[in-house]
Structure formats: structure tokens, C-alpha cells
Structure 1
């Protein structure tokens, strides 16, 4: 009934992934989404919800998910049929540098006069380069663009100037670039729900389409949810685009903005009405300080939480903390990105910069108070890490298994720092200090890099301790050794061990085959040879370093009871109707505004004529 004000489009990492032969390798093996990176940034839902609460009409379309789900999904046909006042495309992490810009091209092909706005951390970092693409009209910078986005949409509706909209980079009609000050940096997050699951469920009613807002390909089979506890970070890890230094440079954020314990618990209670899958609490909530931590744990205990909660740890925990955590929730698990078992590397890099003994005491305390699972992540390609340093992480995993009596709650993973160094992080800004040689620096270089035939060539760096070849080889060798260790200690079954072993060795062989193809001088022959191995590449792109179930937590039921779901759905159905009537009021107000503007213009014209 109402014209859409904004359609958010989430692009795949590489737009032509269904046609091109690109071995993405293990760049996404330890995250829920595939190498297509179909999981859209959680901030899209909070922006969409904020716009709808105001009265705007908004839709999210996860193009990447739809393209994965349906090989015949026609992106151009879908986009050509849309007719919003504005398109919004996310460029949060750099792996979307190719797909996002290609989608913007398609938008302008069918809607040359409809504005296109970009947002996200990478868009913010590269805003002055991004705005110079002919398919981009606006870039909203920063980590909290709900309010600037509302101002921009209203300005577009009314044909008003955008000079005073904070955080906005834009082009004048004659093509000159203007950069408004980045001043909208809220110091708390209680004005939004991140993600806004309420918006996602309501949109299913509104557009009669379940798949447009599904976050990743296998979510319906394993519907884990997540809550973001903060924007910004107190930690300053050298290779992290979400570090303190990166947020300062990209978002003008001096300190993190937190969600209050009350609003977080309210969202957890809402989520458990929808389902019984684990809820992932993103970022270490303890960053906000002892008082915040105590209040959150107190409210969790009072709320009688049913779901398992999965917490990230950015620094150690002790008996006191885990005792309170166990008392507050029925089930909990942990995720710890250790990156390296070597203390000297962790100190230099700023990640979990404590002695191994302190880390091991954290593990012991967590197990003592009933932690169900601890995922521990190691990385290859980090600063000051040699080939031997990278693969010897498996020896440390053995030490941990021996120390903790081969406890099956210990889950180990190894993955490369890939495909790119995050813009804004300390290592990206000071590569020589952290031992990096960068192959790509500009947005366009990263965009072109994503189209290379294997993840070795997509890598944007090598270090003073390892070449690209050594980073690739260390990743596969460490993964093979870790797989052997898991079988030896009965952490995985024989069949899974054999599957992973086969996938890793096949992936390594394909990398070498692509290396041989890349030596060919004839481009046509090179393309033909790459096309011949396309099926094999597609198979290893589905994941090679670990089993899918290793990254999940056991659940007995995916969704809540019929009665619980029915109550939530009815509530949201009436909420959508309330927003519908709110939208009518908003449209009437805008119609009145437009009418008054036309009358004022007509009056001014008469006066000018009289003069």
C-alpha cells in the first residue's frame, strides 16, 4: 500500500560466486555463515526497526542467502521490480567489497535516479574512496547510524538539503564530495535492540516472505540467536578491526557504548519465547565494569533463563566470577580466541596477554562450575608468528588435554587470519611495526583481490615470519595435526576424522593445482583449466578444517512450545498493525507537509510575479 522508503540489500562476498571458480578456502570455517558471508550485520535490523518505529516503510532482502538457497534466484529481476525511495547496502567487513559494489551497479542499472547509501565499518573507513564510485550517492559513517539514517530518509522524502546530517559523506549535484562531521556517537545503546528480532519476525508477516531476513543458510536447522552487548571495545588487539584503536579511527568512539543489563535480559527473555537454541552473547559483557557485571548476573538469576548462554571471554575469569555465572544461568559455554599458545606473541598482539597458567586457571574454574563447552581458537598469520609457531599450537592442545584428563568439553579450532587485515586495526595502520607486508591497501585493490582464484592470492598480506605460501601450508598442516589429535583423544568419531582429513588434503592439493594453472601465460587456457576444477573447488568451499557439529552446542528442541510461539506471534502481529496505523499517521503528516510546501512555493511565485 505504501511506497517503501528504504530497501536494505545484503550482497554475497563475491557477486558472481555461482559462476566463477574461486577457492575461498577456510576463511569462514569457524563462523556460522559460508564463504559467501551471507550473514548480514546485526545493525541492519536495528536501523530498520528504528526507521519503522518512526513511520517509514522498510524492507531487508538478504540477497546472499537467497542466492545460496536457490541457484535460479535472479538478483537483477528482483532488484528491477523494487521501487523504494532509497537503497541501502552494507559494507561492514571487507569480504563484501566486491559483492556490495556489484549490487550497487545493478541498482543503478535499473534505478539510475534512486539514491544508494552505504554503511558499515569498512564503508566508514573507505568513505572518501567509496563515494567516488558512480553507483554510490551517500555513505553513513560510524557504528550508530540509526538517527542519521532517519534524517537522511526524511531529507530524501522532502527534497531537503543534507548539509547538516551528521556522519554523512555525500556528493553535490555537480559531483563534488562533501564530508559532514562524524559527531553522532551515542554513549549508550539502550535506544536499540541489536539485533532486532522483533523487526525480523514482523517482516515475515508484512512481506509474507520468510527467507529475506534469514541470517545464514543453515539457520532454520539450527536457529542460534545472538545479542550485541556493546559498540566499541576496551581491548586493543593489533589485528582486530573492532579494537579500541580501530573504533577510535573509524567511528570517532573514545569508549564503548554498552547496553544496560535490564535491556539485555529483556531481549534474552524475548528470545527464549521464540526458541530453545543457545543465545550467543557477543563481546565480553565484563568490559563495562564490576557494577555492570554484578547487575547483569543478578537480573539473569531473577529472570529464570531457560536457554543455554554462550559467552565470549576477552580476559581471564576466576572462581568468584564463574560461581556467580553458574548460579545465574542453567547452562553456559564459553568462546575464547587465544590466537597463539605463545605468551610472547599474545603480549605483542594484545590478545589474552596473560601467562598460560592464568589462562589454564580460567579453564579450570569454568569447568569447576559446570561450563558445558569451551571453544578455543588459534590463528595462523598473526604478528611475529613463524611456521613452527603456528603448527605447534597443536602441541599445546595436547598439553591441555593431558592436564584436563582429555575432557571432551575442550574444543579446539585453528583458522587463518584471512582474507584481509582489517582496515583501522593497529597492524593495518602500522604494518612495518607489526611485521606485515600489505598487497592491498585501497578499497578497489581489495575488491579486485576477492576475484582471485584461491584464498592464497586473496590474502592481502604476508608477514616478516611467513610468506603467503607458508601461511597457507601452516594452516593446513596445523589443521591436519589437530584433526589427528582429536581422533587420538576420542574428541571426534572415526568417520568425521576421515572426512576432515580428506577435505584438508583435497583442499591442499587444489591449492597446488591452482598454483600450476596460474603459471600459464595464455589467459583463455587459464580460464578453461580453472573451469575444469570448478566442481572440486565448490566442494572444499563448503568447509574443510573442522566438522560442522563441532561449532554448535547441543539442543533438545529448536523452537519454543506452540503456546509460547503463538503468544509472541500474536503480540507481534498486533504490533505490526499498530505500526501500520502509525505509518498512516506519518504519511498524512508528510502529505500535509508537502501540501504546505507547495502552497508556500505557489505564494512565493505570485509575490515574485507581482514585484
Structure 2
């Protein structure tokens, strides 16, 4: 019997989302003759995890298990899943991949004996070769264990547009209990639509930035899918859901082109509700195309997300770079433009976060808090009831500039594991975090952090 692989999204209190590439990877392998399925352990209660895992392994009989270590928030679930499988199913080989896995690389295999192979960068061809039984030393992009030694092969495989466009990223039949997953996604922003891979921007806080991609994947330029392939996925999704989400706003002209194609397709025009994560302000042409391509009404309002991150314009330019910079005044003008085109039949979510470099004293934080809540009040008083402002803790992304610059021992996975435990058990701060916020500027004293959090709590 041919090798087969079960991909597992580990349990997490923070993310139910399966990394988008997992669906494409599973589809790719099935097209090349290797059966694969996906199990999302984040769908189930903690007490039932072993039961669901056992059932899927017994039913599917995989020779390999691929554990996704993409989101850093999955680290505890990743460890639990790997240890559980290795203890109970020692004959199954365990592979891992994703942003976080690629960043830690060899260190993961040194720390976790349950791991056999780690894929760094694009996984499609390496996994195909692995399942074919190719010698490890001949497979690109992998780090592997052989006896008591760990070896790293060169990263020479990068998926191209043709391959990326010939696989589907929405074949939900490959996911166990896909109905549970869709049900949860529809309560949020919808099914994430895979557009491309890679980035050219360098936001200091982002683990998916251009610099970060070089670290965890050695990818130096983005690759996009074709319009036809994305539209084909939309037509497949139609039988599962009509609510989708795009959060890959790398090339606005590309997205506009996609919208035009959708408008010209009678089977897709006004078929889906699209929630959109914008990386920069939205121009009138984009908004008109968006309105024409997708469905919306007072009862079915989509969401546009904008992430200024900080109120201070100078700091925003510093942490986001010039590509996506905009001032608060320009942001307010953009909100007015969006509302004028959609007649307020749309929700606008503004995301601010703490803590950032450049806002590294108590006085600066206090000014940020005052300005953000003043803006919140002004928006409310101007009757923009469709605008919501969030002010959360910033998740310190593994591989981001913040992580590299401010976290001690950044390439040791124990740093993430211990930091995660500190956050969850409140060993350092007594207040609750809503993200894995490991970076707080050193200049801010403990008492000042606590005072800031109290102010925000009271204002909320």
C-alpha cells in the first residue's frame, strides 16, 4: 500500500483556523497519487482529543502524520499531539512544517524526540518525495533525524505559479468533520481564500513579513495564484458556504483584477459575502469593484478590517514602513469614503495594539490610550455606529523584527514554550492577555504597565 499522510492542526485556545496552505498541500498530494486527509483538533473539547485522534488514525491508517506548527499559539498543542502519537503509534513517522517550525528548524528536532522530519519553506514537492520513499538526503527543504544525528538539506524547491494554480485550497471533503469547521468560520469572518504566498512589506511586528519569510522559508519574492484558480475555488466553496475572507492584500491591482473577473462571471457575481483584511487604505475604484462583485445589505454586512496599530503617526511609519503608511486623518477620510459608497451597510473594524517600540514610556502609552479612546468617542458622536475600534495586546510573532530584536534566545523553542506558560499562568503580570504578548519595552516599569492596563480596563 502506498504511503499516506494525515495532516493535523493541533489544538489551540487561540486559533481554530487551519493554515490555508494545508488544504492546497493535501489536494496536491492526492493529485499525485498519495492519499491525505486533514484533522483539526481545535474543533473538539480537550477531554475528547485523544478519542478523535485515535479514531482518525485507526480509520485512515496513515504512515506519516504532518503536524502543523504555523501559528506560534499552537506550540502547546503541537507538543501534546506529537508526544501522544509517538507514544501510542511509534511506527508512524511525524513530520512538521509552517512558519514557526521553519523558524526554529534544527532546534525543534533537538528538543522534541517525537519529530522525524521538519520541512522548511514550501512543502509540496518535498512531501511528495518523502511519501515516494526517496532517501532523505535527496529531498530538498527538509531537516531530519537519522539515528542520533540531525541533518539539514538545502532549500532549493520553491513552488511556482503554475503548480500553485493547479491545486485547490478549498477541498473541504479532505477535512474530517468539515461541517463543524465551516459552522465556526461562519460565526467569524468566513473561509479564508488563498491568494498567494510571500510578502514584500516589512512591518516590524509581523511574522509573515518579507524579512520573516527569508528566515522561516527562505522565500525572497511572492507568488500568486491565477484568477482562474481562485475563481474555481470559489465555485467549489459555493456548496459549503457563501462567506469568505481575504487577508492577503499584497497587490491591490491584483485584487482589483480578481474582482473584475468575478463581476464578469454570472455564477460568481454577488454570490459571496467577502470580509476583507486591508493592509492599506482603500481607494474609490477598489470599493466600487468590491461593492459590485459581492453581496451585501443591511442584514448581511461584510467587514473591512484596517490596522493602524498605533495612534502616533510617526511610530506607525516606523513600524509599518512607507508602503502601507497612512495618517490618522487619512484613516478618518477613508472611513467616510467607505461609508459613502456602502451607505454604512458595512462594518469597519479598526485594530490598535500594544505594546510597540517607539511607544516605550508610560507618558507615551498614556497619550496613546487617551488618543485612541478620544477617537472612539468622536466616531461614536459622529454616528458612525458601524465602526468598531479594538485595542488589544500585540502578539509577538515568532520571526518578526520584534522577536529577533527584543526576545532573548530567539532561536530556542524553549523561549516560546516558557513565554507561553508565563502568559497563560500570569506568572509575571496579573492582568489577562488577549494575545501572546511577550515584548513589552524595557523602559516601562512594572507599576506603569499595571497602571496602563487598569486605565484601559476602566475605559472599556
TM over 0.5: yes
Residue 338 of structure 1 aligns to a residue in which SS?
Answer: strand
Name the CA distance, whole Å, in 2 between partners of 1:151 and 1:346. Answer: 44
Name the CA distance, whole Å, in 1 between partners of 2:52 and 2:22. Answer: 20
Between structure 1 and structure 2, the one with the greater Rg is: 1
2:329 pairs, out of 357, 363, 371, with: 357
Deviations 1:308-355 (A, max 9, x none): 212221112223332333333343531111111210220111164222
Contact 1:195 1:228 in 2 (8 A): no
Contact 1:279 1:308 in 2 (8 A): yes
2:184 pairs, out of 210, 218, 227, with: 218
Higher RCO, 1 or 2 (CA under 8 Å, sep at least 6)? 1
Deviations 1:247-279 (A, max 9, x none): 122212222111223322332233234333x31
Name the CA distance, whole Å, in 1 between partners of 2:420 and 2:55. Answer: 25
Deviations 1:138-167 (A, max 9, x none): 00111x312211111112xxxx41212111
The change in CA–CA distance for 1:100 and 1:220 in structure 2 (over 3 A counts) is: same
Name the CA distance, whole Å, in 2 between partners of 1:315 and 1:224. Answer: 21
C-alpha RMSD over aligned residues: 2.9
Deviations 1:265-319 (A, max 9, x none): 332233234333x3111211xx3363x3442232121122322212221112223
The change in CA–CA distance for 1:9 and 1:326 in structure 2 (over 3 A counts) is: closer
The change in CA–CA distance for 1:330 and 1:103 in structure 2 (over 3 A counts) is: closer
Give the alignment's TM-score, normalised by structure 1.
0.65
1:166 and 2:133 correspond: no
Quote the residue 1:183 is aligned against: 156
The change in CA–CA distance for 1:122 and 1:114 in structure 2 (over 3 A counts) is: same
Quote the residue 1:124 is aligned against: 102
Name the CA distance, whole Å, in 2 between partners of 1:391 and 1:194. Answer: 46
Deviations 1:153-202 (A, max 9, x none): 112xxxx4121211111122x3222111112123437635887322x2x2
Q: Spell out structure 1 runs of 4+ moving beyond 6 A.
A: none
Structure 1, gaps ≥5 residues long: 14-34, 432-436, 484-611
Contact 1:9 1:90 in 2 (8 A): yes
Give the alignment's TM-score, normalised by structure 2.
0.84
Q: CA deviation at 1:91?
A: 0.7
Alignment of 1:462-611 (within 5 A): 462-467=440-445, 470-471=448-449, 474-475=452-453, 477-478=455-456, 480-481=458-459, 483=460
2:26 pairs, out of 37, 40, 48, with: 48
Task: Please say which of residues 387-396 and 467-476 is displaced more in the overlay.
Answer: 467-476
Name the CA distance, whole Å, in 2 between partners of 1:397 and 1:57. Answer: 51
1:348 and 2:318 correspond: yes
2:215 pairs, out of 245, 249, 263, with: 249
Name the CA distance, whole Å, in 2 between partners of 1:72 and 1:100. Answer: 13
Quote the residue 1:380 is aligned against: 354
Name the CA distance, whole Å, in 1 between partners of 2:234 and 2:401. Answer: 34
The change in CA–CA distance for 1:360 and 1:220 in structure 2 (over 3 A counts) is: closer
Residue 37 of structure 2 aligns to a residue in which SS?
Answer: strand
The change in CA–CA distance for 1:154 and 1:467 in structure 2 (over 3 A counts) is: farther
Quote the residue 1:298 is aligned against: 260
The change in CA–CA distance for 1:171 and 1:441 in structure 2 (over 3 A counts) is: closer
1:396 pairs, out of 356, 375, 379, with: 375
Alignment of 1:400-439 (within 5 A): 400-402=379-381, 405-418=382-395, 421-431=396-406, 438=408
Quote the residue 2:299 is aligned against: none
Structure 2, gaps ≥5 residues long: 297-301, 429-435
Contact 1:387 1:465 in 2 (8 A): no
The change in CA–CA distance for 1:473 and 1:57 in structure 2 (over 3 A counts) is: farther
Name the CA distance, whole Å, in 2 between partners of 1:119 and 1:214. Answer: 24
